[in-house]
Structure 1
Amino acid sequence: MGFPRGRRRLVLAVAVLLAVAAVAVVVHRVLAPAEVSTPARGDYPATPQPAPGVVGRLPVAPLIVDGRLRVYAAHRQVYADRPVDGRHRTTPYWSYRRWPAGLTGVVASGSTVVSRWSDGRLVALDASTGRVQWRADGPVPVRSTAVVRRTGAATVWNPSGLFLTDLPDGRTVLTVTGDTQASGVELSSGRELWRTDLPGDCRSDIGTTATGQLIGLDACAGSAMIEFRDAATGLVGGRWRPPGGPDDLVVTPLGCRTGRSGCLALRTAGPGDAGGRGWVLGSGEPLAAPALDPAGVAVVGEQAVGVVDGVAVGRSVRSGAELWRHTGLGPARVLTTQPGRVHLLTEANDLVTLDPVSGRLLSRSTLNVGSDGTGWTPGAMWADAGYVAVERLREPVDPNGGDQRYYLTSEAVILAAT
């Protein structure tokens, strides 16, 4: 015997409703906004002291945090591994995911790691545990049309609109800029200090100064002006342009502590590097520094370092006086810098590290690992905590090629201790 026809219809209707409800629950769980925090389960690693030379080969770009961890970026995840001098990427020490927002930038200061997301959310993590310290809502990031390469270097080494500034009173401010707004957030607590409107796409960010200012390039009124905004209050303290400078300025920050944060100087030029001029930053207007005029000169503290005819030359940033020379390099160029170190790359892809004050050789090693060889061109790079990380690009470089053609190997990033 079967069910009566009316009862069969009722059972069928109930079954359909239950199926729809089950699908709705699944869809909600999959698509609803969510975050997943997986904290560290082991001890916070000690700071290693590796010998100079290549220590690792990695598929993604590492941000060295607190001299102990490597932090990486994925599309919807920020995560860390250990040890910092590990040969390869390892199982995450901790991980933080969000959905459906995408990760747009990561910065770190001390043991605090701050991630920025496509919906404007800021999330600070404790590097030692991976646990959330605070959450805050910042300006929505500018929509970028740039190609995001698989190493994630742009997200962790040069995040757009995300800067750190150390104030004279000891506080650190996270300055965040977007399409139409900028804000300043106290790094220790996530407390918003200020928020202001921005004029739009006629203005761009350059970096922050070592004296606590956000540097912007504003062309909204015609000729480009460099503005200096107080990171503690958000107020524009001054606007300046180089005397006799071109209307269409190209501005490059120099001597930055990390990325484009805590910078000591600027280089201004016209399109195509026309009329390049160097300037020292301070509390007042920038001061002319002819030692910084040539392209390729780096700033470390009070020293300007460049390479001329295979000879590294150190000069005083302010006076231009020659302080030292280091010979025997052959064809070489300044690769990058960090406090107390200037890193040069030779034609044979040897990494040469010098003391910027004296020119003394600190280390020299070949950037080669396994059977990869040295036939590659450097791409994006980063230096901090005594380490240098470099993307290795396949020669000849094809900027429009896919990742497999663009990078030398699947583990495209080489990490060296100096």
Structure 2
Amino acid sequence: MGFPRGRRRLVLAVAVLLAVAAVAVVVHRVLAPAEVSTPARAEYPPAPERAPGVIGRLPVAPLIVDGRLRVYAAHRQVYADRPVDGRYRTTPFWSYRRWPAELTGVVASGTIVVSRWSDGRLVALDASTGRVRWRADGPVPVPSTAVVRRTGAATVWNPSGLLLSDLPDGRTVVAVTGETRASGVELSSGRELWRTDLPGDCRSDVGTTATGRLIGLDTCAGTPTVEFRDAATGLVGERWRPPGGPDALVVTPLGCRTGRSECVALRTAGPGDAGGRGWILGGGEPSAAPTLDPAGVVVVGEQAVGVVDGVAVGRSARTGAELWRYAGLGPARVLTAQPGRVHLLTEANDLVTLDPTTGRLLSRSTLNVGSDGTGWAPGAVWAEAGYVAMERLREPVDPDAEDQRYYLTSEAVILAAT
């Protein structure tokens, strides 16, 4: 006995439809756009008082937020751990993940962490809880051809098309650029303040100024020109070229509070101008500052610091007057700076931190952890809240090598308190 032939066909068709529906449900659950937010379950940690010296090593680059957390970037995730001075990476304090979009950049100001995604979405998180504060749509990022290294340093330390600008009225603007559009979003609320069309791939971001302007380099007319755009309105105010500037212009921001944001100076260079020329930024056109011409000089507030014959020299960025000297470094270079601190790296990979105003030694430590030694070359570096984080590269450095050969160890990032 069995089902009649017609009924068997009906049962088989129903079974096939049910199977297809089940597969469709599974595929939808796996592939459909999704957002997973895992907020913090513990108290927001206090900012520690840490003695200067090497803290530990990490497999990925940390963004120090509010002096309390370390925030990291993964392919489709932004997450934080604690304590900020922990020797190793720990279980996430909070986590935020999106699918199928990819994370392309992270910036932070105060207790707000802003993530940018490959579909143009901006998502702001509260650093103290990990909860979403706001979401906003921005321009789709320009596709990057750069090699994405496993530390994620480019995503958190130098995100493309994602900048911060503090306005004179106390507000902070998140400036976001794509290939053909830019917009400004209020950091506290996610409210779009402005949007504007861009000419395409003939314009690039340089940074933001400490006076609330966005700096861009425009080559659309053939002759490179630096533009200054009001961060509050998106309108271009000044368009400037260095007098006698080269046809192929490279513009580097200097004296930035963090990353390429809140910068007080810049350097222009190009063919026939290899030494570069330094400029102080203000409300109008940049003012020439010959003290900033050498490529190894950094700016911290009103001071310019460089190394000459093993001696660190601090000068007034505006007048060039010498303010102080610190000798006994040997072969060394200025590594980076942050408010109130300038960091130098010796040939033996000692991290030397000086007060940029007086030249007083604040700390000195050998960048060695465990049995790793100091036989490595410095890579990308970040300084924030009294900490310095830096990639360690295997010598001789091969920029085309895969990560296993490129980095010194699997935990390539060293973290030090200064």
Tell me if TM exceeds 0.5.
Answer: yes
Q: For 2:54, give the aligned amino acid.
A: V
Q: Does 1:142 align with 2:142?
A: yes
Residue aligning to 1:6: 6
Residue aligning to 2:124: 124
> Can you list the C-alpha shifts for 1:227-266, whole angstroms capped at 9, x where unaligned?
0000000000100011011011111100000000000000
What's the secondary structure of 1:48's corresponding residue? coil
Residue aligning to 1:174: 174
| CA RMSD, Structure 1 to Structure 2 (Å) | 0.8
Shift of 1:66: 0.5
Residue aligning to 2:386: 386
Q: For 2:255, give the aligned amino acid.
A: G
Q: For 2:204, give the aligned amino acid.
A: S
Taking the aligned partners of 1:150 and 1:326, their CA distance within structure 2 comes to 37
Say whether the 8 Å CA contact 2:226–2:241 is kept in structure 1.
yes
Shift of 1:12: 1.1
Q: Does 1:330 align with 2:330?
A: yes
Shift of 1:49: 0.9
Taking the aligned partners of 1:218 and 1:17, their CA distance within structure 2 comes to 58
Taking the aligned partners of 1:85 and 1:296, their CA distance within structure 2 comes to 30
Residue aligning to 1:311: 311
Residue aligning to 1:108: 108
Q: For 1:86, give the aligned amino acid.
A: G
Residue aligning to 2:270: 270
Shift of 1:7: 1.7
Alignment map for 1:16-415 (pairs within 5 Å): 16-271=16-271, 274-415=274-415
Say whether the 8 Å CA contact 2:72–2:79 is kept in structure 1.
yes
Taking the aligned partners of 2:28 and 2:213, their CA distance within structure 1 comes to 44
> Can you list the C-alpha shifts for 1:162-208, whole angstroms capped at 9, x where unaligned?
00000110000000001000100000000000000001111110000
> Can you list the C-alpha shifts for 1:117-150, whole angstroms capped at 9, x where unaligned?
0000000000000000000000110000100000
Say whether the 8 Å CA contact 2:158–2:260 is kept in structure 1.
yes
Q: In structure 1, list runs of 5 or more residues that go unmatched.
A: none
Q: TM-score, normalised by structure 2?
A: 0.99
Is 49-58 or 150-159 further displaced after alignment?
49-58
> Can you list the C-alpha shifts for 1:213-239, whole angstroms capped at 9, x where unaligned?
000000111110000000000000100
Q: For 2:74, give the aligned amino acid.
A: A
Say whether the 8 Å CA contact 1:250–1:271 is kept in structure 2.
no
Q: For 1:160, give the aligned amino acid.
A: S
Taking the aligned partners of 1:2 and 1:89, their CA distance within structure 2 comes to 64
Q: For 1:347, give the aligned amino acid.
A: E
What's the secondary structure of 1:227's corresponding residue? strand
What's the secondary structure of 1:88's corresponding residue? coil
Shift of 1:271: 3.7
What's the secondary structure of 2:237's corresponding residue? strand
What's the secondary structure of 2:170's corresponding residue? coil
Q: In structure 2, list runs of 5 or more residues that go unmatched.
A: none
Q: TM-score, normalised by structure 1?
A: 0.99
Q: For 2:264, give the aligned amino acid.
A: L
